[in-house]
Amino acid sequence: MTIANSNLRGQLLHAEKMAKYTSWRVGGEADRMYIPADKPDLELFIAELDIDEPVVWLGMGSNLLIRDGGIRGTVINTRGKLKQMQMLDDTTVYVECGVPCAHVARFCSEHGLSGAEFFAGIPGTMGGALKMNAGAFGAETWDLVDSVEMLSIGGKTAQRNADEFKVGYRTVKGGGTACFLSTVLSLKKGGSSQASQKKIKKLLAQRATTQPTNLPSCGSVFRNPANDFAARLIEASGLKGYTIGGAEVSSKHANFIVNTGNAKARDIEQLIEYVQTEVAKQHAIKLHTEVCIIGDKSA
Work out the pLDDT band at 55, boundaries 50, 70, 90: very high
Q: Which residues contact 234 (CB under 8 A, 6 or more apart)?
A: 222, 240, 249, 254, 255, 275, 279, 287
| 196 has a pLDDT exceeding 80 | no
Calpha distance 285→278 (Å, rounded)? 10
What residue type is 298 in one-letter code? S
What residue type is 103 in one-letter code? H
Work out the pLDDT band at 191, boundaries 50, 70, 90: low
Q: For 233, phi and psi rounded to 5 degrees?
A: -65, -40
| 284 has a pLDDT exceeding 60 | yes
Which residues are known catalytic residues? 170, 220, 290
pLDDT at 189: 87
| Rounded mean pLDDT, 225-239 | 97
Work out the pLDDT band at 2, boundaries 50, 70, 90: low
| Rounded mean pLDDT, 189-211 | 79
| 175 has a pLDDT exceeding 70 | yes
Work out the pLDDT band at 1, boundaries 50, 70, 90: low
pLDDT at 4: 57
| Rounded mean pLDDT, 268-276 | 98
pLDDT at 150: 96
pLDDT at 34: 96
Distance, CA of 44 to chain centre = 24
Set out the domains of the chain in order of their start, with CATH numbers: 11-77 (3.30.43.10), 85-210 (3.30.465.10), 230-294 (3.90.78.10)
Q: How many residues does the chain have?
A: 299
| 228 has a pLDDT exceeding 60 | yes
Helices first, then strands: H and E counts in the chain: 6, 20
Calpha distance 95→124 (Å, rounded)? 14
Work out the pLDDT band at 51, boundaries 50, 70, 90: confident
Work out the pLDDT band at 192, boundaries 50, 70, 90: low
Taking the whole predicted model, whether its pTM rises above 0.85 is answered as: yes
| Rounded mean pLDDT, 202-212 | 83
pLDDT at 64: 95
| 26 has a pLDDT exceeding 60 | yes
Q: What is the pLDDT of residues 101-136, one digit of tens each?
A: 999 999 999 999 999 999 999 989 999 999 999 998
Mean of per-residue pLDDT scores for the chain: 93
Q: What angle do CA 23, 29, 33 make, to 5 degrees?
A: 85
The phi-psi region of residue 169 (left if phi > 0; otherwise alpha if psi is between -120 and 50; otherwise beta) is beta
pLDDT at 31: 97
Indicate the SS3 state at residue 259: strand
Work out the pLDDT band at 270, boundaries 50, 70, 90: very high
